[in-house]
A and B are shown apart, each in its own frame.
Chain A
Amino acid sequence: MTTPPAPDGPRPAAGPPLAGPGGLLPAGPTLSLASHRGPHHAIVTVDGAIDYHTAPQLLGHLSTPETQGVPLLILDLARVDFCDSSALGAFVEIQRRRSAAGHRFALTGVQLEVRRILELTQLTSVLPLHATVEEALAANRP
């Protein structure tokens, strides 16, 4: 690839280092994931942006045997301000795995911007959405 000519617009004053030849990008942001176990359920609270970079972290966290075996999994997105198509793919994958195993799944606290993307992709009809964790628990009472 030929090196593109320098852009004529101003460069941002600050920012992470560029990835030059041989350079390394910082590892990038990670999600904060907190799990709370109940008798028949698990609540995983996510903090951060779920995207192409962090979706594998989320999927890995939810793939532990304890989390997979719990009858009801609630993913609380109240502190998630950004989701991209990779996040949606992850939600669909979790939903598919859990229903195949006969377990339930719920998403709670979906923010406006995330809901817009769910609606654009028509996933609101596929993924079980609840306003709060309490509502999700009430709806899935054993």
Chain B
Amino acid sequence: MLLFARGSPSFITEVRRRVQEVRFDLSAFGLSETARCGARLREAVRTTDSPATAAQRIADFLYDSLRDGHDGPACGAVGVFVIDAPDASGDPTGNGPRYALEGYRGPHPARPGGPAGSDALDPPALASGTAHETPALHRLLERLAVTAQDAQDTDGSAPPDGTGPAVRVSDLQPDELEDALPERDVRRALAYGGTLSPGRRYAVVLLCRVPLPDGTAALFRTIAGSTRLALLSGHPAAPAVRADAVRALLADLEHLTGERAAELQTVVTELRSAATELRRSQRELQQRERELSEEAAIVELLQEVGSGLAAELDLDALVQHAVDAATRLAGAAFGAFFYNVLGETGESYLLYVISGVDRSAFDKFPMPRNTQVFEPTFRGLGVVRSEDITADPRYGHNAPHHGMPEGHLPVRSYLAVPVMARGTVLGGFFFGHPDPGVFTERHERLITGVAAQTAVALQNAQTYRQEREAAMELQRHLLPRLPRVDGIASTSRYLPAARDRGAGGDWVDLIPLADGALALVVGDAMGKGVRAAAVMGQIRTACRAYAQLGLAPAEVLEQLSVLLDDIAPGSIATCVYAVLDTRRDRLRLAVAGHLPPVRRDPGGSARFLDERVGPPLGVGRRPYQEQDVALPPGSRLLLYTDGLVERRGRPIDEGLRLLRELVAGPVGEIEADCDSWLNALADGEHDDDIAMLYLHRPEDAAQQAAVAREYAPVSGAVPDARDLVSRTMREWGLRHLVNDMMLIADEMVANAVRHARTPLRVELRRSGERVVLEVTDSSTEEPRLIVSQPGEFGHRGIFLVDAIATRWGTRPIDGGKVVWAEVKAS
């Protein structure tokens, strides 16, 4: 780009050059081009003194300034004609009006005044002449009707009064100037014309090389007006004519501008409405997008929660997991899940879990009832979602609280969703928030989804529990209760794996022998399920037979190994077989690939009996070696399977070390010892079955005593059992423990009568300064410790036992359970 100093001659020249070099792209001719082009046109002829000069300047101007899209000339030729109308008397020549080509620009020099075709070798594109002399030109101009006196508009280019100039745009027909075309690419004609002055008309023909946009004709009406004025400037026309031309031009300009403005207005309006439409579409699109991503998020969340719930088979963990997830998804301050469980005798209990706040925030309130607010949920009638439950018409109608009880956490936003399966209400989710308007439709949908998945998971857990109970039932039948032996306190445990349905192959046995000795057995048939259980049953039966034959421990194991090869080739089992001779205070044992028993001597030190461990059973006839160890009164002996010491994430050596520490630690009543060791080592997380056989040889048999009585499940059993305990304790010289033991017996028997409703057995055992009360019933439902609030009725029984007893617990047995409590003197 050239730079010029302001005010310098070259700057001024440049500006002038730019102003004079006016160029308009005819292929993109618009309103602004029209106005500027007209003004330039009039300017271009300002200093002319004759009509002919003016016409030539007009032709030059149009030829030079109208360009194509690439700055080439838009026109192949431009001609400016002046037509003198025939006299009123008629046409003197008979050829109609003669067209005088006053101005011309084109490829061939024009010969103004000369007839067309006079130089056959070099024909001008446009020439003067009559219809006879220049027939092609006349045909074109007639067709375009720009010279007719009453040229009527047909394409909207005429002014309102119908008397102004006419403008036509048309593709050229084959017979119109076809041979005279200056260049082959000229295909269109733009022609305009009208009255110049009374009796004279003018016409301008532009032979164009460019396509002309729609509306060009209308735009050229003002060019036509300017052309007329320009022609008149070199013409001695009367001022009236000039004034008329100016008025006409102004009217055309006004008309055109107005038209264009209206068009623009329409376009603007259309654009606006299009923009509005676009915005609306965009909003809709965004809304839809939000909905979709919301949808995706909901599905994702639900899948996450669902897979978590589906994996949970333990009912307590399941409901807590469900209420935690749902409370989080609902954005609630706290949530609760109420669910029904079926008790042993068919009655249903309503239980609940809480999330978001401590359970103690609700413990002081009674269970909710079917108030108007709760009823839809408890009866499974549908979801209740309230922006503000305190403003809900259903709120506050039911006695005694008429709303939330005093001290209840504040709730405004409320959402409750029933959990249903096949038309049965399994439970209900309840959510609260102290602010109003927290729970949205989205929350409702999410929680409804969680409720559906919870329903499925609850049913799964139920099915699982039933299967597991069936497996345990099978196991119980395979492991009948061990007999009691004089002078020996013994107990056993069998716990199936915490997360496994199949019955295992673990077993223990205690077999009184003919000579007053006692055989002790623990074993583990490898594998799970019915096959392992069947193998175990056969080994156990065979073992009992060999024991009765009086075989030595090593012989028993050898025979069992052969037998196992026989009945289940390829099967493996481990086993400990021991014989306790109470008269000699000796224990003889042989071990077949099993974890060694632990012995605690009267001094309290514990050791594993792990010398001479032989191969497991099932590898053919193998000789086994025996150990012979002392087991005097005051000793304890524990036989167990690997489930007790094995735990995921803990080496078995660590488990064995812990076990020896426990056995060497403080011990007491054998049932209590078993339970506390199980808690310490397995804590309900054992991956394998656990079997235990535990013996105690009391030091002073005289300090050992027991009484037992059986009762029907009637209330009269309670005072009678209390009376039995009171008298027995006095007989035993344990007067100082009478009150505690009476209360414990009272509560435990009352509990069994109230809940188990099966025949029950009360047994009171003494071992030195230690007394154990056992109540056996036929219900497998275990008592739970519930802390009652002072103002509440009930639930204090087990609480009192817990407060008074040194230790207490329960253990399942074949066809029922034992609840026991120990009280220690001193």
Contact = CB atoms under 8 A, between A and B. Distances in A.
13 contacts: A7-B707, A7-B763, A8-B706, A10-B707, A18-B710, A49-B719, A51-B722, A53-B716, A88-B796, A96-B791, A117-B800, A121-B796, A122-B790
Closest 3 pairs (CB-CB, A-B): A9-B706, A28-B716, A85-B796
A135 to B, nearest CB: 22
Contacts of A19: 710-712, 714, 717, 759
Interface in B792-819: 792-794, 796-797, 799-800, 803-804, 814-816
Given A25-B714, A82-B722, 14 more contacts: A1-B815, A2-B480, A5-B484, A8-B484, A15-B723, A19-B710, A26-B716, A26-B720, A49-B722, A82-B746, A85-B797, A88-B796, A89-B794, A123-B790
Contact of A1 (B712, B743, B816): B816
Contacts of B799: 85, 121
B796 A5 contact: no
B705 interface: yes
Interface residues of A, number: 45
B97 to A, nearest CB: 123
A15 B746 contact: no
A89 B796 contact: yes
B298 interface: no
A93 B706 contact: no
Contacts of B797: 84-86
Summarize B's interface: helix, strand, loop or mixed: mixed
A84 B710 CA distance: 21
- What is the interface of chain A mostly: helix, strand, loop, or mixed? loop
B715 interface: yes
A88 B799 CA distance: 12
A18 B719 contact: no
Given A1-B815, A84-B743, A85-B797, A52 B711 contact: no
A92 to B, nearest CB: 5
A2 B481 contact: yes
Contacts of B792: 92
A63 to B, nearest CB: 15
Contacts of B704: 9
Interface of B: 480-481, 483-484, 486, 704-712, 714-720, 722-724, 727-728, 731, 739, 742-743, 746-747, 749-750, 753-754, 758-759, 761, 763, 765, 776, 778, 788, 790-794, 796-797, 799-800, 803-804, 814-816
Given A7-B707, A8-B484, A28 B719 contact: yes
A11 interface: yes
Contacts of B753: 52
Contact of A52 (B484, B723, B754, B776): B754
Interface of A: 1-2, 4-5, 7-12, 15-16, 18-20, 23-29, 49, 51-54, 56, 82, 84-86, 88-89, 92-93, 96, 113, 117, 120-123, 125-126
A134 to B, nearest CB: 27
A107 to B, nearest CB: 14
A87 B716 CA distance: 15
Contacts of A26: 716, 720
Given A53-B715, A117-B743, A125 B790 contact: yes
A10 B705 contact: yes
B790 A121 contact: yes
B728 to A, nearest CB: 6
A29 B715 CA distance: 10
Contacts of A93: 793
A53 B714 CA distance: 8
Interface centre among B704, B705, B791, B814 (most CB of A within 10 A): B791
Nearest to A124: B790
Of B708, B716, B727, chain A has the most CB atoms within 10 Å of the CB of B716
A87 to B, nearest CB: 10
A120 B753 CA distance: 23
Nearest to B804: A120
A52 B800 contact: no
B720 A25 contact: yes
A99 to B, nearest CB: 10
Contacts of A27: 716
A2 B476 CA distance: 12
Nearest to B798: A85
A29 B716 CA distance: 8
Contact of B727 (A12, A86, A122): A12
Nearest to B715: A53
A123 B720 CA distance: 27
A117 B707 CA distance: 27
A28 B759 contact: no
Contacts of A16: 720
B750 A86 contact: yes
B742 A82 contact: yes
